[in-house]
Amino acid sequence: MKLFNFSKYLPDWFISRERYSFSIGLDLLIIYYIYSIQQGTLNLNNLTIHIFTSCWVLTSYTFGRYKLINKKWIYIFLRHINKSIIFFSCFSLLIYLFRDERFYKLLILFTQIILFSSIGQILINKLIICYSKNTKCWLFVGEKITFLKIKKSLEETRVKGIIKLYDKKANLKIDNNFDSIIFEYPTQIKNKFTQEYYRDFKKITLQEWVLSIMQRIPNVIVSRKYLERRIMEKLNKKFHFGIKRFADIILSIFLIFVTLPLVLVSIILIKLEDRGPIFYSQIRSGLDGKEFRIWKLRTMYKNSETGTAKWAIKNDKRITKIGKLLRKTRIDELPQLLSIIFGKMSLIGPRPERPEFDKILEKEIPNYQLRYKIKPGLSGWAQVNYNYGSSIEDASKKLSYDLYYITKFSIWIDFLIFFKTINLVFNGRGSEPIKSEY
């Protein structure tokens, strides 16, 4: 759904999540409007309402209130109410404990917000579904072998769209049903025939289309030369990486402080289960392939990995009972916050792989080593868009997301990944491989 043409000013990943901006915008209007009616005026000096609004939006996203659901309105309404109750109860309890004299006023305010926000989100949900039924359609002008690769890659994404190959012999009618014309070679767009023949259509290069629509870069489509050029353009922006490093340190210290009770409880449970060691360390590949050691809370039985390294699998018998919970909630990864503070990792970036696997993957997957052009991360674009990898095929698909992140890196996409990671943790998704056997 594209109600406004913001594509020239906003990044692709934001445009593709335009529905979130409508949902969040509606919530902001409802909250401040109800608050202004209750107060008789819009007093923006009240810190409580700003804190409530920020927490409301973040938890609504985290618990999936803004998720698009094509079901009956009563189901959506009850789902919104259900997902609001936990936040409402916790926030009300905090206000009561701090003995805020406006407790009962705020209680009525919060009840109204939940009710009207839920109704508003139902309307947004229905409108978006109504206006987004039309499937996108693109016309590709280029080689048939490239077209087949694109078609296969498109089928592997969540994008709803149809791509057709322009064939002069088939006399394919070029009409307004196509959203844009994709050209395999940039030089095709510049020639006079193209400018005249396709003058009424949006013209886009294959590379631009892959970045804006797929939001991943499959190896079979984009050349290494193009990738290296785009990556070098990003690496030269030192200021952005300076901000990223500063944010890594501040947020890591904050997360260590906030999650310390969880880590302490986990340490006790690990020790009680089998009396084994608390921590587990591994060598991983870092920036430019340089090896470093990471630490994790132990989730496998003692001496469970002997001989050659193996990928984790679904229902892995090597994982302890406590380990399953720690992996599902990502608590086992928290000790890596120290690696971030020491500069070996970043909060956001491609996940560091084990050198044993790197040697295999580098031989099997083109451009694999490009993922180490920036520091590896605790979470990344691949982690929030693809399941836990446990095979060469999975590694290849995850690389396509990593390459997209490196070529499109910005502080804003880091924020998106950060909140999507929180969403995954709270919903317990993406922590287990699909593959159930070696």
Sequence-separated (6 or more) residues with CB below 8 Å from residue 417: 348, 379, 380, 381, 383, 384, 405
pLDDT of residue 7: 47
pLDDT of residue 437: 47
pLDDT at 425 over 70: yes
pLDDT of residue 159: 75
Share of the chain above pLDDT 70, in %: 78
pLDDT of residue 3: 43
- Per this entry, what is the length of the chain? 438
The span from the CA of 14 to the CA of 58, in Å, is: 16
pLDDT at 44 over 50: yes
The span from the first CA to the last CA of the chain, in angstroms, equals: 42
Between 231 and 85, the more confident residue is: 231
pLDDT of residue 173: 55
CB-based contact 1:132 (threshold 8 Å)? yes
CB-based contact 228:406 (threshold 8 Å)? no
CB-based contact 178:201 (threshold 8 Å)? yes
Angle at 287 between CA 307 and CA 416, to 5 degrees: 105
Q: What is the pLDDT of residues 341-390, one digit of tens each?
A: 999 999 999 999 999 889 889 988 988 989 999 999 999 999 888 877 66
pLDDT of residue 350: 93
The span from the CA of 148 to the CA of 163, in Å, is: 10
What is the bridge-based pairing of β-strands 279-285 and 291-297? antiparallel
